Amino acid sequence: QLQLQGSGPGLVKPSETLSLTCIVSGGSISSSSYSWGWIRQPPGKGLEWIGSTSYSGNTHYNPSLRSRVTISVDTSKNQVSLNLSSVTAADTAVYYCAGPRGYYYFDYWDQGTLVTVSS
């Protein structure tokens, strides 16, 4: 069974870049049938899709974040990464990675990483 383990800094300063990684175990991240997504949830609020990608490099982003977000796959580490630049307090949220049908449905999720944007 697939397992996802997210990690990254819990505190990021305004205007800096938020960087998170998600290690996938129990399967190859580069499987042709797999895709991976990032979703976030501000404290006390609902879920917001950030973007989805696969090993093929076909990546889709939420237009509201497209200018600041990059999602990539590192097959050597079996992990998917999220970078969000120029963060503000509005980017404070729990960030989740999910897959392996990340283009469509999110079967497995990591535990979530709370990222606070504050100086």
Partner 1 sequence: DIQMTQSPSSVSASVGDRVTITCQASQYIGSWLAWYQQKPGKAPELLIYAASSLQTGVPSRFSGSGSGTDFTLTISSLQPEDFATYYCQQANLFPRSFGPGTKLEIK
Task: Tell whether residue 62 is a contact of partner 1 (CB under 8 A).
Answer: yes
Min CB(91)–partner 1 separation in Å: 17
| Touching partner 1, residues 1-30 (CB under 8 A) | none
CA distances from residue 7 to 56, 64, 99, 104 in whole angstroms, order as listed? 23, 24, 16, 23
Task: Tell whether residue 48 is a contact of partner 1 (CB under 8 A).
Answer: yes
Min CB(81)–partner 1 separation in Å: 18
Min CB(13)–partner 1 separation in Å: 26
Residue 35 to residue 42: CA distance in whole angstroms: 24
- φ/ψ of residue 36, rounded to 5: -135, 145
Task: Tell whether residue 68 is a contact of partner 1 (CB under 8 A).
Answer: no
| Touching partner 1, residues 77-116 (CB under 8 A) | 96, 98, 103-107, 109-112
Residue 30 to residue 22: CA distance in whole angstroms: 14
Residue 36 to residue 52: CA distance in whole angstroms: 5
Q: Would you tell me which residues interact with partner 1 (CB under 8 A)?
A: 37, 46-49, 52, 60-64, 96, 98, 103-107, 109-112
